[in-house]
Chain A
Amino acid sequence: MDETAQIENFERRIAAGESIEPKDWMPERFRKQLTRMISQHAHSEIVGMLPEGAWITRAPTLRRKITLLAKVQDEGGHGLYLYCAAETLGADRSELIDQLLAGKAKYSSIFNYPTLSWADIGVIGWFVDGAAIVNQTMLAKASYGPYSRAMIRICKEENFHKKQGFEIVATLAAGTPAQHAMVQDAVNRWWWPSLMMFGPHDADSPNSAELKRWGIKRRSNDELRQRFVDMTVPQAQAVNLTLPDPELRYNAATDQWHFGEINWEEFHRVINGDGPCNKERLQARRDAHENGRWVREAAEAYAAKQQRMQAA
């Protein structure tokens, strides 16, 4: 089969809703785009361990400490699982990590914002995991089998995280005036960055059309963002918290919540490395990598010795 025929066959399979598996033929461009997406997703999980991890040692009760630690551990597990999915496309985990540490690979820019209070832990679960679920529920239907299966599994855990986050938020919102103020402040800081998680407007999203044609993305950034807003506004109302958008209003004609324009200047600034914590996050990952080098070398040397002994 020549390449044109292969591509036609490939696109026909996708149009028919078939799932593409690691051994199937796929266009190089498809492989590249997926590797980029899956590895960015894996990096996001790993970098995402940092802002929340910073509160494990300070959680206000043992139960909260245990659930937060378990959540951050889950994120590590998701990262591992996603790196494995990327490896089914021929990528190498250590090379992907090198790209992250070199600042060449992207990760979700939401993790470049600081966690300033305990309420941030609740709001991250509610907004950030909530937004991730909206995005990943779509990706769970992606055309590439290993990615889609990873998303199904990850989504289940994220749903749990979101519930825990919202429970923290609801508890604080119903707590003392100081606790209510703490959680309102966290909502004010995380709302807009959470909306930015869905990426640029459809018209400004360079990869969207191709990703849609290949069944990787099935909904546009703006559609997903709207879904998230429509889902979250009633939840905020239920716990007496205000979302920091004066333009927010219900549109009966569309049955949707109209919201104001995102600050795209901030979006691009943070994505391009100049957010409040970009340097700190990357440095933490680099330090862990550098400080752990001798451990990885020792583990390899030990494994090689054991292998030689078994062979002898």
Chain B
Amino acid sequence: MNADLFNFVAGLADDRLVLGHRLSEWCGHAPILEEDIALANIALDLIGQAQNFLKLAGDIEGAGRNEDQLAYFRDPAQFLNLQLVEQPNGDFAFTIARQAIFDCWSVYLLEALSSSSHQELAALCVRAAKEDRYHWKHSSTWVQRLGDGTAESHQRMQSAFDALWSFTPELFQATAAQQKLVAAGLIPNLSSLESQWRKAMNELLEMATLKVPTVGAAAGRPARSQHTAHLAPMLSEMQGLARAFPGAAW
């Protein structure tokens, strides 16, 4: 059970670490100063959440790996994040679409996990859900502004959702670890997430005068088992310095 719980919690952490990293790449380059600040803020929340989840994962594993060892010394193949979050930033619409898809899902997920019988996990999820509700407010407001702004912003927003939609089935594909944890009563059944998410996204896209892209089928591989080509270069940038000085204190 420990290995399953480790994998599940590390997945929660990796989603947030990778997405937080992507958002932090905007810092100093955003369309307006207010967004430099907002995106940095969201990145800070996500990386902070990742830090907590990784620490918990390390404790669960019991092999003496702390949050930094898990973040900096695992290879891309050992990362358990969704493909969605590792996609490069693209334009601002792409970043916002990626964020809205994630935030909406994350709020429902964390709210559900808040009733986990694993108390530490539940407590972290309560805290993170609170933050992610603000993130969802931010990203959904931008989807509306850009979707219903100018012809150009509408087209960019639509293209972004069209391009990212194929990554959404993975959000709802239960991993083997997750299924075992549900069966053991450690985490609640998450099967209603998809309909909750779909309803909220449909409403948002409609308000933003955008079309809901057609649903692709889930890829014929287990969830969180494979990455796109974008993760490895991202991690080599993130981990390079720490790995160049193994054992050093910073």
Chain A residues proximal to chain B, CB less than 8 Å: 46, 49-50, 53, 56-66, 69-70, 72-73, 76-77, 79-80, 83, 118, 168, 171-172, 175-176, 178-179, 284, 287-288, 291-299, 301-302, 305
Q: CA of A56 to CA of B71 in the docked complex: distance in angstroms?
A: 15
Residue of B nearest to A77 (CB): B37
CA distance A296 to B245 in the complex (A): 43
B150 within 8 A of A: yes
Q: A66-B48, A66-B51, A298-B153 are known contacts. Are A72 and B29 too (CB-CB below 8 A)?
A: no
Extra pairs beyond A59-B241, A69-B27 (13, CB < 8 Å): A46-B28, A49-B27, A56-B27, A57-B237, A60-B241, A69-B40, A70-B40, A73-B27, A175-B250, A295-B92, A295-B146, A299-B149, A302-B149
Nearest A residue to B70 by beta-carbon distance? A62
Docked-complex contact A76 and B237, CB < 8 angstroms: no
Instruction: Given A57-B24, A61-B242, A302-B149, verify A73-B41 contact (CB < 8 Å).
Output: yes
Give the distance to chain B from A141, nearest Cβ to Cβ, in Å. 27
Kindly list chain A residues whose C-beta atoms are within 8 Å of the C-beta of B249: 171, 175
| CB within 8 Å: A-B pair count | 142
A62 to B47 alpha-carbon distance, docked (Å):
8
Judging by beta carbons under 8 Å apart, are B238 and A57 in contact? yes
Cβ contact within 8 Å between A62 and B153: no
How far is B37's CA from A49's CA once the two chains are assembled, in angstroms?
11
6 A-B pairs with CB atoms under 8 Å apart are: A53-B27, A58-B238, A73-B37, A76-B33, A294-B150, A301-B150
Bound-state Cα–Cα, A94 to B137, Å: 27
Closest to A42 in B: B33
A49 to B30, CA, bound (A): 12
Interface pair A60/B44, CB less than 8 Å apart: no
Contact of B242 among A60, A179, A296 (CB under 8 A): A60
A60 touches B156 (CB 8 A): no
Docked CA distance A64–B68 (Å): 11
The CA of A175 and the CA of B67, in the complex, are separated in Å by: 21
Q: In whole angstroms, how far apart are the Cα atoms of A60 and B47 in the complex?
A: 14
Contact A53-B28, Cβ < 8 Å, known A61-B250, A76-B36, A298-B153: yes
Question: Which residues of B in the span 228-250 have a Cβ within 8 Å of any Cβ on A?
Answer: 237-238, 240-242, 245, 248-250
In the assembled complex, the CB of A45 is this many whole angstroms from the nearest CB of chain B, namely 10
> Roughly how many angstroms separate A176 CA and B245 CA in the complex, as a whole number?
9
Identify which of residues 132-182 in chain B touch chain A, using a CB-to-CB cut-off of 8 Å. 144-146, 148-150, 152-153, 156
Is the CB–CB distance between B237 and A62 below 8 Å? no
Residue of B nearest to A79 (CB): B33
**Which chain A residues border B41 with CB–CB below 8 Å?**
73
